[in-house]
């Protein structure tokens, strides 16, 4: 019963949105309906972009998960098919300015809606077979070398 009420409410809201878009459109009713259909097809919560700014909070959270006082300095971001490999330096937040800052590190992320979710190499790189991309790898082939064969 509740699910029927929720469906009816969603259907009503969609109809109002379509009517509102059609009324506000400077084009024809078809243009308004097309815009409403496109909006309805978009994932709830939006999508994320694949760049340093969008990944930074997820990268810093992953660094802290590896050690409470860690920070990560992003050098590069490589992206393909909803995946990202971030390379940079993982080190202590209180590292001396004139000393070692940390170690070169690669972190792997998969986009889920508007979020970047960290992934472990063991979970996404598949069964190692030299430098060839394994058939059971989840990460796109374009990112395999950077993500799975890196230092």
Q: What is the pLDDT of residues 96-148, one digit of tens each?
A: 888 788 999 999 999 999 999 999 999 999 998 777 899 999 999 999 999 99
Its pTM stands at: 0.68
CA distance 82 to 103: 26
Strand partners for 129: 132
The structure tokens listed for 128 are 């190692």
Q: What is the pLDDT of residues 10-65, one digit of tens each?
A: 333 333 333 333 333 334 334 444 444 333 344 445 688 999 999 999 999 999 99
The structure tokens listed for 149 are 């064969």
Helix, coil or strand: residue 107? strand
């Amino acid at each position: 019963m509740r699910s029927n009420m929720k469906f009816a409410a969603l259907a009503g809201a969609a109809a109002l949105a379509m009517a509102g878009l059609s009324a506000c459109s400077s084009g024809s009713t078809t243009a308004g309906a097309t815009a409403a259909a496109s909006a309805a097809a978009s994932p709830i919560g939006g999508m994320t972009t694949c760049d340093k700014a969008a990944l930074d909070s997820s990268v810093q959270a992953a660094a802290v998960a590896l050690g409470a006082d860690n920070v990560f300095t992003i050098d590069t971001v490589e992206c393909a098919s909803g995946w990202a490999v971030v390379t940079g330096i993982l080190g202590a937040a209180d590292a001396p300015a004139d000393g070692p800052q940390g170690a070169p590190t690669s972190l792997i992320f998969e986009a889920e809606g508007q979020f970047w979710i960290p992934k472990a190499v063991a979970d996404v790189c598949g069964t190692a077979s030299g430098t060839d991309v394994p058939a059971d790898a989840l990460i796109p082939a374009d990112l395999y070398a950077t993500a799975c064969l890196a230092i």
